[in-house]
Amino acid sequence: MSTIARDPLGTGRVPVAPGLSMFDPMFVGIDEFGEHVMLDVVYHNLLIAGEPGGGKSGLVNLAAGTSALADNTRLVLFDAKWVELGAYIDVADEFIGDEIDKAISVLRRLLTVAHNRYRWILSQRRRKVRREDLLSTIVTIIDELAMFTTVLGTPEQQKEFEQLLRGLVSLGRACGMPVIAATQRTSWDIIPASLRDLFGYRCAFHCTTNGSSDVILGDGHADMGYDASKINPDNPGEALLRAGKRAPYLIKAAYLSDEQIYNIADYAAWMRRPSGITTPAPPITTAWEMAA
């Protein structure tokens, strides 16, 4: 489904919005039976964890690419490494590299928006935002959560970041502001149970121990046979996904090459101008039409 508009450069018709919406289920890969795995991210949040090389960044980029191409969606990206989400720097409303002050400031703004949205939802006599409300979906993606909670800034700043993030994760799911967070350090000091349980979807790539697998999937899951440390480390992209009430199941996350990521990001950047949000380009008013 594409929205076709006139090309501003006059070189024919080009698609300006692929018709994706963050309210539609997001394709993330296949399960062990080859069936598509689709996630309803807006209302659930997504936590991704696993050791380096497990395929985390593939899933993070898939989420970022989908969000970038989705209609009426804003991106807020946290990437202390710069290169994982850096392709979307022109698309994102806010891009935070390794600046903890800016990170805290942006989180405060997001929380204010969340509070305001809830006041608005209350005025509409409802409990959550819907697609028909035409409010923008603000997707916050954090790559390497541990950098912001244990490395950058002072302990006070790290604590404040964690506190604000906890607030955004708990508030964002019903007001169209989902959070997708990834980390390679699967330990309790990075992801305490109180924060983990706020994420409706949890995806564990290969972990080094069954304890770190439990940090993501939930206590006692390794003993029940759902152990991400048993995932083949030579098969990047394979992960255990816990989604909803269903028991964790194996998936293979879809992969995007660097070229594909930059193509998507460039296309999204061009598609989103000049408003920064996905809207069809306005029709060209030619000199003849102006004269008329």
Residues at the contact surface with another protein, assessed by CB under 8 A: 2, 7, 9, 11-12, 14-15, 18, 20, 27, 29-30, 32-35, 62, 65-66, 69, 151-157, 235, 237-238, 250-256, 260, 263-264, 266-267, 269-270
Nearer to another protein, 111 or 137 (CB): 137
52 marked as binding residue: yes
In the complex, least distance from residue 124 CB atom to another protein, rounded to whole angstroms: 30
| Residue 36, phi then psi, degrees to nearest 5 | -65, 140
- Integer Rg of the chain from CA: 20
Is residue 57 a known part of a binding site?
yes
Nearest to another protein of 11, 194 (CB atom): 11
Region of 53 please: left (phi>0), alpha (psi -120 to 50) or beta: left
Token couple for 269:
């950047």
Supply the DSSP string of 105-160, one letter for each residue: HHHHHHHHHHHHHHHHHHHTT-SS--GGG-PPEEEEEEE-HHIIIIISS-HHHHHH
Residue closer to another protein (CB basis): 105 or 157: 157
Pick between residue 151 and residue 193 the one whose CB is nearest to another protein.
Answer: 151
Q: Taking the complex as a whole, how short is the minimal distance between the CB of residue 33 and another protein, in angstroms?
A: 5
Phi, psi of 22 (to 5 degrees): -70, -15
Annotated ligand binding at 172? The verdict is no
Q: How far lies 191's CA from each of 28, 149, 274, in Å? A: 23, 10, 38
| Cα–Cα–Cα angle for 145, 103, 107, rounded to 5 degrees | 95
10 is in an annotated binding site: no
What the block records as the tokens of 90 is 């022109």
56 is in an annotated binding site: yes
In the complex with another protein, which residue's Cβ is closer, 130 or 159?
Answer: 159
128 is in an annotated binding site: no
Give me the least distance between CB of 260 and another protein, in Å please: 5
Q: Which residues are documented as binding site for ATP?
A: 50-57
Q: Which residues are documented as binding site?
A: 50-57
